């Protein structure tokens, strides 16, 4: 057993400490169920009973012998890191490592462990869609949860409350961060693990999927020295990726770029990124206030969630800063009403807002198993009605192969709706926040629907009509 797999705070709280040769020091205060949980994970081990004073001395010796980083409160912080390829003889560890490896190899974004009465279903989220991968007998699932809790520094004994933790694993030279969330359910704890590949390259603006005209407009807007730029869409629609790509596009050593995020998903060299931490009072609003005292040129805010953050962002964009952020709205014109509903004055929105981009993600047709087919009459009518041109004779879809797990899709691309806020639009916003009137003016000025942009990608052989209709509607 490797002692670094057990969090220091867990050992201190439960009065248990490794003493070498597979043995543990315990005291009379050590809970019996903690020993049982550890045996579930690691197998049998010996214990040596000592008094609490001796235990505290042993703990101090242990802390001074391990490498760690000391935070502001003086706590030793150790992070679990393991090479999945190194293997282990323990069946539970082998099972979990195998699931992790498969998820990473197929580029899953999440792993779900869903407990039911007789068994636990394991699913991967691949390109935004959940796929069942395997099933685990309920009788062995508690060992799986206990192992995941130990390596993500969670309380193994706490089964009644939700918990959040992190794991860092290695596959050769590749490093993967995993965010772990547990949730108590009727049949046991549900576990969801979000995978973040730290070696994964951040997409550039050119790779996102903007059409030629939208790309030119967005590139010119983010190159301005000041103003507010919003990216809208539901959770998981790629908003953060678009913001990161925009920052990479305008990055310069001569500019001071600061971000406040929750969480910091990808670290960008040359950009100072702040992680929100509400537990200690570091919210978007407080972080943003502090950032403004750091002489920034460009500010990225992970999300505008409340009036306080919105007002600071708007005023910062009016005082010589370029501000990029996200909102949760269905389309670009709706963002005006969302800000006014928060309490932001219309004249402030009009004075600061330069551009709004609404987006969704659609799956790409798998390049390994794609084939041409003749579109149906309904498909042809839809394309001709929306795009105002003749539908092509052939479209592309995927048969399903080993590479794409039989889905016919591999990877994703964005579909976009870009609304430029020019002088006429600013004038309208000061008079009204009615979404219908703003939407009509935007369409008059050339704004496309998400469906329009999606069907352009269908005609180009990138995605399918079914996929576009699923995320953009009719």
Residues 312 and 243 in one domain: yes
472 within 8 A of 415, measured Cβ to Cβ: yes
pLDDT single digits (tens) 437-463? 999 999 999 999 999 999 999 999 999
Assess whether the previous peptide bond of 9 is cis (omega < 30° from 0). no
Tell me what percent of the residues of the chain surpass a pLDDT of 90.
59
Q: Is the pLDDT of residue 37 over 80?
A: no
CATH of the domain at 405: 3.40.50.300
Decide if 72 is inside a domain: no
Query: Which of 151, 168, 197 marks a domain boundary?
Result: 197
Residues 296 and 413 in one domain: yes
Decide if 463 is inside a domain: yes
| Lowest-pLDDT choice from 54-58, 119-123, 442-446 | 54-58
DSSP string, 263-320: S--S--TTSEEEE-BGGGTB-HHHHHHHHHTT--SEEEES---SHHHHHHHHHHHHTT
Residues 224 and 362 in one domain: yes
Return phi, psi of residue 211, to 5°: -70, 165
Q: Is the pLDDT of residue 114 over 60?
A: yes
| Lowest-pLDDT choice from 50-54, 183-187, 221-225, 409-413 | 50-54
Residues 143 and 218 in one domain: no
For residue 377, the cross-strand partners are none
Residues 234 and 107 in one domain: no
For residue 182, the cross-strand partners are 163, 191
Of residues 335, 329, 377, 376, the one with CA closest to residue 352 = 335
Element (H, E) at 126: strand 119-126
CATH of the domain at 22: 3.30.300
Residues 272 and 394 in one domain: yes
Residues 191 and 256 in one domain: no
For residue 230, the cross-strand partners are 325, 356
Decide if 77 is inside a domain: no
Q: Is the pLDDT of residue 67 over 50?
A: no
CB neighbours of residue 431 within 10 Å: 11
Decide if 69 is inside a domain: no
pLDDT single digits (tens) 379-431? 999 999 999 999 999 999 999 988 888 889 999 999 999 999 999 999 999 99
Q: What is the mean pLDDT of residues 241-264?
A: 93
Residues 151 and 278 in one domain: no
CB neighbours of residue 205 within 10 Å: 18
Decide if 78 is inside a domain: no
Q: So what's the pLDDT on residue 244?
A: 94
Q: What is the DSSP letter of 117?
A: S
Angstrom distances, CA of residue 252 to CA of 230, 256, 298: 21, 8, 11
Confidence of residue 72 (pLDDT cuts 50, 70, 90): very low
Q: Which residues contact 378 (CB under 8 A, 6 or more apart)?
A: none
Q: What is the mean pLDDT of residues 349-376?
A: 95
Structural domain tally of the chain?
A: 3
For residue 191, the cross-strand partners are 113, 182
CATH of the domain at 179: 3.30.450.90
Residues 280 and 213 in one domain: yes
Q: So what's the pLDDT on residue 83?
A: 54
**Domain of 52, in residue numbers:** 8-62
Tell me the average pLDDT of the chain. Answer: 87
296 within 8 A of 273, measured Cβ to Cβ: no
pLDDT single digits (tens) 299-337? 999 999 999 999 999 999 999 999 999 999 999 999 999
Q: Is the pLDDT of residue 120 over 50?
A: yes
- Pairwise pLDDT comparison (114 vs 80), residue with the higher score: 114
> What is the C-alpha R_g of the chain?
26
Decide if 76 is inside a domain: no
Of 167-181, 187-201, 330-344, where does the model show the most confidence? 330-344
Residues 218 and 354 in one domain: yes
Confidence of residue 298 (pLDDT cuts 50, 70, 90): very high
Residue 418 tokens, joined: 């870009």
Residue 417 tokens, joined: 């709706």
Decide if 80 is inside a domain: no
Decide if 280 is inside a domain: yes
Residue 445 tokens, joined: 């000025």
Residues 18 and 109 in one domain: no
Residues 384 and 432 in one domain: yes
């Amino acid at each position: 057993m490797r002692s670094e797999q057990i969090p220091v705070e867990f050992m201190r709280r439960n009065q248990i400490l490794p003493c070498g040769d597979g043995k543990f020091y315990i005291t009379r205060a050590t809970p019996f169920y903690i020993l049982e949980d550890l045996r579930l994970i690691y197998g049998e081990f010996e214990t040596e009973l000592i008094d609490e004073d001796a235990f505290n001395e042993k703990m101090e010796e242990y802390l001074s012998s391990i490498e760690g980083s000391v935070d502001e409160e003086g706590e030793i912080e150790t992070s679990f890191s393991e090479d999945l390829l190194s293997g282990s003889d323990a069946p539970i560890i082998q099972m979990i490592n195998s699931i992790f490896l498969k998820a990473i190899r197929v580029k899953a974004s999440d792993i779900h462990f869903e407990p039911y009465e007789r068994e636990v279903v394991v699913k991967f989220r691949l390109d935004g869609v959940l796929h069942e991968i395997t099933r685990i007998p309920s009788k062995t699932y508690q060992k799986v949860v206990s192992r995941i809790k130990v390596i993500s520094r969670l309380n193994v004994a706490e089964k009644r409350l939700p918990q959040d933790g992190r794991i860092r694993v290695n596959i050769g030279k590749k490093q993967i961060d995993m965010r772990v969330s547990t949730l108590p359910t009727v049949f046991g704890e549900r576990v969801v693990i979000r995978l973040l590949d730290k070696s994964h390259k951040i997409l550039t603006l050119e790779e996102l999927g903007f059409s030629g005209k939208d790309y030119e407009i967005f590139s010119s807007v983010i190159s301005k020295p000041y103003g507010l730029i919003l990216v809208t869409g539901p959770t998981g629609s790629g908003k953060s990726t678009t913001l990161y790509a925009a920052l990479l596009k305008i990055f310069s050593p001569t500019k001071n770029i600061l971000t406040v995020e929750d969480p910091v998903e990808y670290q960008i060299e040359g950009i100072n990124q702040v992680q929100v931490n509400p537990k200690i009072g570091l919210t978007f609003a407080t972080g943003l206030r502090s950032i403004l005292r750091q002489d920034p040129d460009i500010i990225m805010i992970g999300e505008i969630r409340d009036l306080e953050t919105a007002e600071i962002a708007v005023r910062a964009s009016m005082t010589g800063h370029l501000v990029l952020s996200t909102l949760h709205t269905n389309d670009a014109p709706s963002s005006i009403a969302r800000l006014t509903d928060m309490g932001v004055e219309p004249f402030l929105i009009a004075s600061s807002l330069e551009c709004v981009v609404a987006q969704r993600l659609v799956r790409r047709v798998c390049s390994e198993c794609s084939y041409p087919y003749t579109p149906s009459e309904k498909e042809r009518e839809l394309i001709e009605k929306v795009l105002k041109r003749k539908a092509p004779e052939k479209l592309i879809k995927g048969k399903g192969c080993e590479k794409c797990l039989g889905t016919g899709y591999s990877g994703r691309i964005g579909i976009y709706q870009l609304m430029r806020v020019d002088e006429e639009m600013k004038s309208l916003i000061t008079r009204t926040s009615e979404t219908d009137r703003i939407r009509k003016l935007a369409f008059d000025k050339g704004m496309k629907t998400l469906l329009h942009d999606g069907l352009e990608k269908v005609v180009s052989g990138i995605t399918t009509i079914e996929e576009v209709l699923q995320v953009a509607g009719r």
